[in-house]
């Protein structure tokens, strides 16, 4: 239904005879600001294949097959300008991708998931949502609260406290949902329902360089 091209600053959608552009999120730029990464400079995100959208594979523990294809993108590592790799942790601040309203806060298996609705619509009147998983939201983050583009809404949830073998990481999903979809029906189950939600590859919406490490990251 939606074909997104690899354009630089815009995400282009070809929907039937229509075409329109949604500006790419400045997520990485805001991420660097909030987390004071500019000291050594941010070079690129590092993803292993299992972190990517629609991957069938786990990238944690000993690997294996996911229960369902990955609904988004996992952020766990980046490289600075000196070539050093860094991992995200429970102090890492998470900016919101676009101006939007908090539409749902739900527990997930590592922390909380924040569902944010945006005033962007496709030609079928579907609304854009971004979802931030495995987070520890700031206390002032409530349903209905509006955030400006790039404002920090949470830090990454600590996984060590949960005795988890999974490294702390941020999961981002990008989805289109019907305009009138009620906030109280938002959930991960909804996102997995193809009749309701259309999930997209977050890499098409997010600025900044990235590399895919085929060997995986130890």
Choose the binding region for Zn ion from 60-68, 70-78, 109-117, 185-193 (rule: CB under 5 A): 70-78
Question: Does 112 contact Zn ion by CB under 5 A?
Answer: no
Q: Nearer to Zn ion by C-beta: 59 or 176?
A: 59
CA distance 130 to 215: 29
Residue nearest to Zn ion (CB): 171
In the shown chain, the binding pattern of residues 116 to 145 toward Zn ion, with x for contact by CB under 5 A and - for none, equals: ------------------------------
Question: Does 171 contact Zn ion by CB under 5 A?
Answer: yes
Choose the binding region for Zn ion from 28-36, 106-114, 146-154, 166-174 (rule: CB under 5 A): 166-174
CA distance 12 to 200: 12
Q: Nearer to Zn ion by C-beta: 30 or 132?
A: 132
User: Binding-site residue total for Zn ion (CB under 5 A)?
Assistant: 2
Q: Nearer to Zn ion by C-beta: 74 or 122?
A: 74
Q: Nearer to Zn ion by C-beta: 79 or 171?
A: 171
Sole residue written with tokens 């609705």: 117
CA distance 99 to 56: 31
Instruction: Choose, by CB under 5 A, the member of 22, 27, 52, 74 that binds Zn ion.
Output: 74
User: What's the token pair of residue 20?
Assistant: 């329109």
How do 73-75 and 170-178 pair as beta strands?
antiparallel
Question: In the complex, what is the shortest distance from the CB of residue 187 to Zn ion, in angstroms, rounded to a whole number?
Answer: 16
Question: In the complex, what is the shortest distance from the CB of residue 173 to Zn ion, in angstroms, rounded to a whole number?
Answer: 8
Q: Which long-range contacts (CB under 8 A, 24 or more apart) does 188-191 make?
A: 188/71, 188/106, 188/108, 188/113, 191/71, 191/131
CB 186 within 8 A of CB 138: no
CB 93 within 8 A of CB 137: no
Q: Nearer to Zn ion by C-beta: 118 or 171?
A: 171
Q: Nearer to Zn ion by C-beta: 141 or 172?
A: 172
CB 190 within 8 A of CB 104: no
SS percent in the chain: helix, strand, coil, step 5: 10, 40, 45
Question: In the complex, what is the shortest distance from the CB of residue 171 to Zn ion, in angstroms, rounded to a whole number?
Answer: 3
Binding stretches for Zn ion (CB under 5 A):
74, 171
């Amino acid at each position: 239904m939606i074909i997104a091209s690899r354009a630089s600053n815009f995400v282009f959608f070809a929907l039937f005879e229509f075409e329109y552009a949604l500006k790419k999120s400045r997520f990485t730029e805001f991420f660097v600001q909030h987390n004071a990464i500019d000291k050594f400079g941010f070079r690129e995100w590092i993803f292993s294949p299992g972190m990517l959208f629609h991957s069938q594979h786990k990238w944690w523990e000993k690997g294996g097959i996911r229960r369902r294809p990955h609904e988004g993108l996992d952020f766990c590592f980046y490289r600075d300008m000196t070539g050093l790799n860094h991992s995200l942790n429970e102090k890492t601040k998470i900016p919101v991708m676009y101006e939007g309203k908090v539409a749902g806060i739900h527990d997930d298996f590592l922390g909380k998931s924040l569902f944010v609705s945006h005033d962007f619509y496709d030609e079928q009147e579907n609304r854009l949502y971004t979802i931030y998983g495995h987070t520890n939201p700031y206390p002032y983050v409530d349903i209905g609260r509006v955030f400006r583009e790039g404002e920090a809404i949470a830090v990454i949830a600590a996984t060590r406290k949960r005795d988890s073998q999974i490294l702390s990481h941020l999961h981002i999903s990008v989805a289109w949902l019907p305009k009138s979809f009620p906030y109280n029906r938002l959930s991960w189950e909804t996102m997995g329902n193809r009749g309701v939600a259309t999930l997209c590859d977050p890499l098409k919406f997010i600025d900044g360089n990235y590399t895919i490490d085929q060997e995986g990251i130890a």
